[in-house]
Amino acid sequence: MPTALLLRPRDKGRVRGHCSGTPIGRFKTGRHPSFFVFRLLAEGDVLMADVDLAVIGAGLSACALASALRRKQAVDSLVILEAGRGPGGRCATRRRRDDALWRLDHGAPTLSFSGPPQGPLGALVDDLCDRGVLVPDAGCVVGLDGAGALVEPPAHPLLCGPRWRGQPTMAAVAETLLADAGEAVFTCFGERISTLRWHDGHWLLPGGWRARTLVLSGTLLAHPRSLAMLGWPDVPLRSAVAEGVDPSLDAALASIAVMTASVRWNLMLELPSVNAGLGTADSLPRQIWLTPEARDHCGVERLVLHPQSDGRLGLVVHGLDDGAAIRPDTQPDLLVHHERRLLAALPPLLGPWPALQAALPEARSLGVMRWGAAQPLDHALPRDLQWCPQARVGFCGDWIAGSGFGMAEGALQSALDLAEAMP
């Protein structure tokens, strides 16, 4: 029975089945710059890669958790399993295979805080600023009312406190935090986890992973919405650990079950360079927020502009959900529906900016991204339920109670808190 497996760095995120694993060391060879070494063990007839911690999701909180645990030297091996193509979650950046220059922050355009960050969170933000990964957001934010007139932006929590932008993209924040975590972290992208199994004090995960500790950075595997949305027969975390085994987990699952979150359909567009006679990218706002009245009428929350390095513009339309049932069989048609709906709603919203209106006929749609839990709305998970010791399950994300609930502030703070709570 083999006890170790070697993978080249280029294999990170592309391994499957028994070849999945986490590095326990690294060495150089003449042919390849380096290899990652994986510890394997037998679980029945299946080879499993043994790790200290498995984190599901590679959003901002997960990456911050990995960095914090590394600073504490709390774990020797950690795997992050992410369904998307890269880290960041709502702070992810869309790239294109056909256009090396294209960068589009298609989720959150900034990191928002309720007030100046203090303590360890403040130190983390200061460090990222010192390294040029974060810069204060100086982009112009305007409001748009139901008549298409410019007004003051609405008093939205995401706009009420300080904001920072990732450099050169929002994804750079998560990427930097992962890099800070060091070589003890192995990432697997394109890995959608749909089942969980807890056996003999360890978590057994698809892809050949056995972890002593499990962390969920999102609610899907613990929330009843998983039943309809993904066609699962039961809530994966509940089915893995029977009621009564861990009272903290029972309380956490009960709290998560009543949580609600907003759904967003984000339309991504490529626009040509604006006509110099009508304005320039520098003269355009960074964010256009609709007033509540206009938002409800148009089904659009905000527009976000992303100037590209070659003069083109990226435009992200943050569209509201219309309540249609979302299931595996309905989602493809819903993506088409919302793309058409948002394209039709866009022209009158650009009335105050002739440059954008003139460029719109040449716009190229890059599709719609659905954010199933774009922002938590209520019933935050209490902090004292972030860590469930008997089952060795932790939670982090902007849905944890405390200052910055529903914002980047809350996501980062929850990671720092969980890193301290985990033994």
**pLDDT number for residue 110:** 97
Query: Hey, which of 44-58, 208-222, 281-295 has the most confident mean pLDDT?
Result: 208-222
Instruction: Kindly report the CATH number assigned to the domain that includes residue 127.
Output: 3.90.660.10
**pLDDT number for residue 326:** 78
**pLDDT number for residue 226:** 82
* pLDDT of 12 strictly over 70: no
Alpha-carbon gap, residue 235 to 233, rounded angstroms = 7
**pLDDT number for residue 278:** 46
Residue 306's closest CA among 265, 349, 271, 341? 271
Residue 367 sits in the same domain as residue 386: no
Q: Which of 35-39, 116-120, 220-224, 328-332 has the lowest mean pLDDT?
A: 35-39
Residue 269 sits in the same domain as residue 341: yes
**pLDDT number for residue 184:** 83
Q: Which of 111-115, 261-265, 329-333 has the lowest mean pLDDT?
A: 329-333
Instruction: Kindly report the CATH number assigned to the domain that includes residue 16.
Output: 3.50.50.60
Beta-carbon contacts of residue 239 (< 8 Å; ≥ 6 apart): 196
Cis peptide before 348 (omega within 30 of 0): no
As a whole number, mean pLDDT of residues 328-347 equals 91
In 200-248, DSSP assigns E strands to 202-205, 209-216
Summarised one tens digit per residue, pLDDT across range 93-148 is 999 989 999 999 999 999 999 999 999 999 999 999 999 999 999 999 999 999 99
* pLDDT of 308 strictly over 60: yes
Residue 366 sits in the same domain as residue 281: yes
Residue 154 sits in the same domain as residue 250: no
More confident: 286 or 283: 286
Q: Which of 131-140, 280-289, 331-340 has the lowest mean pLDDT?
A: 280-289
Residue 134 sits in the same domain as residue 177: no
Task: Mark residue 381 as left, alpha or beta (left: phi above 0; alpha: psi -120 to 50; beta: remaining).
Answer: beta
Residue 285 sits in the same domain as residue 369: yes
DSSP 3-state assignment of 417? Answer: helix
Residue 204 sits in the same domain as residue 243: yes
Judge whether 79 and 183 are in contact, CB under 8 Å. no
Summarised one tens digit per residue, pLDDT across range 219-262 is 999 999 888 776 778 899 999 999 999 999 999 999 999 999 99
Q: Which of 149-158, 195-204, 230-239, 308-317 has the lowest mean pLDDT?
A: 230-239
Residue 27 corresponds to which amino acid? F
Residue 236 sits in the same domain as residue 368: no
Domain containing 154: what range?
93-167+261-376
Tell me the average pLDDT of the chain.
87
Residue 48 sits in the same domain as residue 182: yes
**pLDDT number for residue 46:** 55
Judge whether 54 and 211 are in contact, CB under 8 Å. yes
Identify the band that residue 382 occupies on the pLDDT scale cut at 50, 70 and 90: very high
Residue 200 sits in the same domain as residue 214: yes
Residue 161 sits in the same domain as residue 296: yes
Residue 202 sits in the same domain as residue 251: yes
Which residues, listed in sequence order, are joined to residue 185 by a DSSP beta bridge?
78
Identify the band that residue 35 occupies on the pLDDT scale cut at 50, 70 and 90: very low
Alpha-carbon gap, residue 184 to 61, rounded angstroms = 17
Percent of the chain residues topping a pLDDT of 90: 71
Identify the band that residue 7 occupies on the pLDDT scale cut at 50, 70 and 90: very low
Q: How many domains does the chain have?
A: 2
More confident: 356 or 19: 356
* Prediction pTM value: 0.88
Neighbouring C-alpha atoms within 13 Å toward the C-beta of 322:
12
Alpha-carbon gap, residue 195 to 10, rounded angstroms = 27
Instruction: Identify the burial level of 410 via C-beta atoms within 10 angstroms of its C-beta, where 0-12 means exposed, 13-18 middle and 19 or more buried.
Output: buried
Summarised one tens digit per residue, pLDDT across range 338-352 is 999 999 999 999 999
